[in-house]
Homo-oligomer: A and B are copies of this chain.
Amino acid sequence: MRLSRSFLPTLKETPADAQIVSHRLMLRAGLVRQTSSGIYAWLPAGLRVLRNIAQIVREEQDAVGAQEVLMPTLQSAELWKRSGRYDAYGPEMLRIKDRHERDLLYGPTNEEMITDLFGQSVKSYRELPQMLYHIQWKFRDEVRPRFGVMRGREFLMKDAYSFDLDHAGAVASYHRMMLAYLRTFQRLGVKAIPMVADTGPIGGDLSHEFIILAPTGESGVFYDGAFEDQDWLSEPVDIADRGSLGGFFQRMTSFYAATDEKHDDTAWAGVPAGRRREGRGIEVGHIFYFGTKYTASMGITVSGPDGQPVTPEMGSYGIGVSRLVGAIIEASHDEAGIVWPESVAPFKGVVINLKPGDAACDALCERLYGAAPQQMLYDDRADRAGVKFNDADLMGHPWQFVVGPRGAVSGMVELKCRATGEKREVSADEAFAQIAAWN
């Protein structure tokens, strides 16, 4: 994309009302604009990040056998009355009346609807297990929306739901989802640690939050450094084998990890002193086993192997897709701006033309841009070099290809890595090799 023709409005000033760094940087880098309280429009660069994240989430859901559907944003109140949650849900649920005075609501989550869709179609134990997910906008009417997309009202969430014949099946589905989540966060370029969360009246150990480490995070976290001392995901897991899944789950949850709310001094004392890590973190995912809570209350059964009706066991699995945009920035930025992991960056690189109008500069820049026009931003503006360098650092493109008139004549490019700050003079051929490696 040519910056001179694009809708990528950066801001020089720091917006006064943005309290946290990701919110400030998302506004300054032109990723989003607020359209009403807690509701945002995604501009081209922001939408690219959002879609990159959603696509990685999707691929890893598919890889463990989940199937994508798309449920609507508006739901009938009737459905929520069947589960008993319509009256129980507080003022965060946005309740709506249509022109016929029928009660609708903007879905804050989809347990009821997916359970109803499942029940309409799945009739036999032979069709189990089923894992269904969607990536759809939700609404929670927060009393005080803040922190930009981190605590917005309209937000994009991936929510998955599993249906199994029995408890052992539900446990295997839960393990599969934990695998998908850890792979997802690894590909997103962030460290996300599963931490035991409240299970409420159901009990057991099948509720985990995934916390991204970020110095500005909302919660304090305590964890065993052994978790990050090894690439646990490089060990093969057979998702069709419950034993293999169970072993994986055992490994990943054998290390101490807790938010300050659940911190246990006695257990912490058992972690070798050299491996004790303290920090702060942001919740970006939550997986939860809840058994027959919805299938039972909504009267959903399938016929079992003996012909008798069986009430399926469920779990639900959420990832905050729009929240992740902010969370990744909290985890990966510096004084100058965003430092995007390559997998989610809106553009993998930027070509900075230091002298538009100079024939050699223009020619080399066009060639570099033309090598990957979908993944490259071309700063062809007539602005000063300083403005371009600042915008490139602010927007956080992983690679900067700086072309000046002297270098252009001799076919040399200054290649800067945003993450390390390292700059090197490279030949045009080396620059093209860097670009070719993106595909």
Contact = CB atoms under 8 A, between A and B. Distances in A.
Interface string A151-175: 0011000000000000000000000
A139 B35 contact: no
Nearest to A41: B71
A91 B99 contact: yes
Given A41-B113, A96-B94, A99-B91, A5 B65 contact: yes
Interface stretch (A73-81, A197-205, A268-276): A73-81
Contacts of A35: 71-72, 75-76, 79, 113, 116-117
Contact of A36 (B104, B106, B132, B154): B104
Given A35-B72, A39-B72, A67 B6 contact: yes
Given A67-B44, A99-B141, A72 B117 contact: no
A74 B104 CA distance: 14
Given A74-B36, A76-B35, A41 B69 contact: yes
A120 B7 contact: no
A130 interface: yes
Interface string A247-259: 0000000000000
A414 interface: no
Contacts of A116: 35
B74 A117 contact: no
Contacts of A71: 35, 41-42
Interface residues of A, number: 54
A187 interface: no
A433 interface: no
Contacts of A117: 33, 35, 41, 43
7 contacts: A33-B120, A33-B121, A35-B75, A36-B76, A41-B117, A74-B154, A96-B106
Interface of A: 1, 5-7, 9, 30, 33, 35-37, 39-44, 47, 50, 65, 67-76, 78-79, 91-92, 94, 96, 98-99, 102, 104, 106, 113, 116-117, 120-122, 130, 132, 137, 139, 141, 143, 153-154
